[in-house]
Amino acid sequence: MKTGWELYVITDRGLAGGRPVGEVVRQALEGGAEVIQLREKTLPTGKMVELAAALKELTQAYGARVIVNDRLDVALAVDADGVHLGQEDMPARIARRLLGPEKLLGVSVSSVEEALRAVEDGADYVGAGAVFPTATKGEAGVIGIEGLRAIAAAVDLPVVAIGGIDRAKAAEVIAAGAAGVAVVSAVMAAPDPKEAAREILSTVVQAARARAGRT
């Protein structure tokens, strides 16, 4: 059974190759993406709100969800499905109070301790990583498969694995206990985002079935 967290796509205009972010997201949704995270750190607030509103409309049309990275104000402005926070952003417990109980709250974690604190603060899911080295962080902050496995075992929340994940690595992180994978370049930079999303989602679903069969 799918959980709704299998494929979580994070936006990045710099990887879209000049294509409109909305168009790449639309193709990702056609390929089965269930969550879109708007992460565009250099956009001014007005443009961020405009893009967030457009992505909300798109995700609603496909029965998916849109989550805004960092910017609680933008998430509230467009009535997004939720917000995702890093360890250096607004404390999750405060964000939960401002969001109310109905919206999704995600927190980036890189250790069991951070994951447990996110649970206490009211998170609905955690983004665990970086699982593998990435172009932006290299080896810094890499938790590896064992780090992911420990986090997944410690919390009773969906754990979305992030960091250097593509189709080839998707099955490994699902086997380690992740509910889904968060990808950036694997979809945003793909020549055919729809096909890329479809292939990753298929791999994740098959790996989840295999994991369930072993338990």
The residues carrying an active-site annotation are 39, 108, 137
Please report the DSSP string for 120-166 in residue order: HTT-SEEEE--SS-BTTTBTTT--HHHHHHHHHHH-SS-EEEESS--
DSSP 60: H
**Helix (H) / strand (E) containing 65:** strand 65-69
Task: Give phi and psi for 162, each to the nearest 5.
Answer: -140, 150
Cβ(145)–Cβ(176) under 8 Å?
yes
Break the chain down into helix, strand, coil percent, rounded to 5.
Answer: 45, 15, 35
200/185 Cα distance (integer angstroms): 12
Measure the CA–CA gap between 78 and 57, rounded to whole angstroms: 10
